[in-house]
Chain A
Amino acid sequence: MSVIEVNHLTKYYGKARGIIDVSFHVEEGEIFGFIGPNGAGKSTTIRLLLSLIYPTSGSGTIFGQDCIKYGPELRQEIGYLPSEVFYYERMKVIDLLKYSASFYDKDCTQRMHELAELMELELHRRIEDLSYGNRKKVGIVQGLLHQPKLLFLDEPTAGLDPLMQRKSFQLIREENQRGVTVFFSSHILGEVQRMCNRVAIIREGRIVEIADIRTLQQNNYKKVRVVANDLDTAYFDIPGVTNLERHDNAVRFFYRGDINAVMHKIGEIAVSDVTIEEPTLEEIFMHYYE
């Protein structure tokens, strides 16, 4: 069953573009990556699905139900971590979390304390005294304390130190293993690569690609590096080669096509070192943005 289904969703803010004709679906139990640069429409998509804003046209369903019409009921099972975390400044962390918990039908006290301990949150500090990273932690606890079945994470790790980043990734994975579907929006490709099964790439409000992370990496490009004496870059200038460049004795390029063609070329010269590897998502990504 698709947990999220988005059909031709379009949003204009007056004349300004939000997103245009966005369609995708997220399956139950997957971690779905949503990547694009700032301003591409990632937050707009999430906020539409949470009915914080209303679409210009198109629609979205969550758990098979219209996300606007059944918004309040659906949100019982949704956890949301906004990209920028803002809470009632004068409240204490514990009061905010209790307020948050009071909206849900189940008792969240135990899970709330577990999460707070895990994230090393000081419960009796006032929100206004918290650093950005600590606010983000409040956001994570607040978004997870009711054990939602669907998580919207909008740039979840921005502002967290590496240790806390790892902890929250760990947490998200554990939630996912328990069957929670995760919608993971980010502009940091490394983390999407590590976390997600499938990924949608959004650019200037439009989806440019939806693919399995592995297919995205495997089916397309190889990153080749050849080290040899007196090597001319022109030697590798064959069809399918891009980004050809040379540093000292090393020639580097991306290749897409029959790998034998490159192997053959390499075989004909005396090389001192060769590496052929998968490009990082980052490198693939740049390709979509050229």
Chain B
Amino acid sequence: MTMNIFQHEFKMHLRSVITWSAAVAVLIFVYVSLFSSFAQDAELLNQMMANFPEQLLTAFGLNGVDLSTVLGYFGFVFLFVQICLAIQAANYGFSLVSVEEREWTADFLLAKPVGRTQILTSKLLAALSGLTITNIVVWISSFSFINLFKGDRPYETTPLLLLLLSIVVFQLFFLGVGLVVSLLVKRIRSVTPYAMALGFGMYVLSVFGDMLGESALEKITPFKHFEPNYIIQHGAYDLPLVLISISVIVISLAGSYVLYTRRDIPGVV
């Protein structure tokens, strides 16, 4: 790693990191603040939900969830947090290298006396640092807003910790996959559609998997590997699925290094 690239990259990410972190904090705040009113009418709510079609509940990850408990409710909130984190991480992954090629700054950077491995490592660590800031913000806001709004209802700490600990792997998955895809295609004109497609796409796959009872789909999407309901209900990870996530991360990052060091940097024609 070279410090100057890291610093430069980190600065480039900073504004986006702050925006995403603030957005996620607000999201957690708004949803968790509604918990007490939900919980008061929990009986009514659970009855009402029982009348909803099962598919609809599955689509929102509400099947078999008791919204009157702190963690049951938070698991539902956390799904939205996951979607945000997925899009953010995918965004950084897709743009990590491609942004230099799209804005033609790659010639500047690569003509400097640094190797490509060092460049990629510095960029990855800078992006990961940004994601970690968002991660920390999620931790802080989760704990503080839950304790602020839980009223007199108790909750277990372990499942919550497991949920929050899963974030880093979850982020790395989307960062890595985004990066390797960006290196497999010739040129990415705009990052946002790719990031949205990967983030939402994985979420939709997990939902479809649930609705259709199709278990093959859950093998590929981290929304299944780290499904909040599962973690909360079992107080543990679904280990084989988590290992799939980790393998994908390792393969995509290793692949990215191979592809990037051999890549022909496109020039202005």
- Residues of A whose CB lies within 8 Å of any CB of B are 13, 39, 43-44, 47, 50-54, 71-76, 78, 80, 82-84, 86-89, 99-100, 102-104, 142
Contact = CB atoms under 8 A, between A and B. Distances in A.
B204 interface: no
Contacts of A73: 113
Given A86-B103, A86-B108, A102-B4, A52 B265 contact: yes
B268 interface: yes
B107 A52 contact: yes
8 smallest beta-carbon distances between A and B, as pairs: A86-B104, A75-B113, A102-B4, A103-B112, A53-B264, A80-B111, A84-B268, A76-B113
Contacts of B64: none
A99 B4 contact: yes
B108 A104 contact: no
Nearest to A11: B264
A52 B110 contact: yes
A75 B268 CA distance: 21
A14 to B, nearest CB: 10
15 contacts: A39-B269, A43-B268, A47-B107, A52-B110, A52-B265, A72-B113, A72-B114, A80-B107, A82-B107, A82-B108, A82-B268, A86-B104, A86-B108, A103-B4, A103-B112
Nearest to B4: A102
A43 B269 CA distance: 9
Contact of B112 (A13, A54, A83, A100): A100
B4 A13 contact: no
B105 A50 contact: no
Interface of B: 2, 4, 8, 12, 103-108, 110-115, 118, 262, 264-265, 267-269
A99 B4 CA distance: 7
B107 A86 contact: yes
A82 B267 CA distance: 10
A88 B107 contact: no
Nearest to B2: A103
A142 B108 contact: yes
B8 A47 contact: no
B265 A47 contact: yes
Contacts of A88: 12, 103, 105
Nearest to A105: B113
A173 B155 CA distance: 76
Q: Which of A73, A82, A89 has the most CB of B within 10 A?
A: A82
A167 to B, nearest CB: 22
B262 to A, nearest CB: 7
Contact of A99 (B8, B113, B115): B8
A50 B110 contact: yes
A149 B265 CA distance: 24
